[in-house]
Structure 1
Amino acid sequence: MMAAVEIRSALSALLKQHFPYAVYFTNNASADKGYFHIELAPKKHVVDRVIYEREIDVMMELVLPPDARGRIDRAKLYEAVDTLDAALLPVLTIGDRHITVQETSSRIVDEVLHYSFSIDFADAMPEEPVEMMGELSINGQTENMMEE
Structure 2
Amino acid sequence: MSISSLELTEDDRKLIELARSIVDANTDGEHGIYTMGAAVRAVDGSMYGGINLYHFLGGPCAELVALGHARASGARELTTIVAVGNHGRGPVGPCGRDRQILFDYHPGIRVILPTEKGLRSVRITDLMPLAARWTPDEGTQEFDPSLFE
- Place the TM-score, normalised by the shorter chain, in its bin: under 0.3
More helix by share: 2
**TM-score with structure 2 setting the length:** 0.28
Give the structure-1-normalised TM-score.
Answer: 0.28
Query: Bigger radius of gyration, 1 or 2?
Result: 1
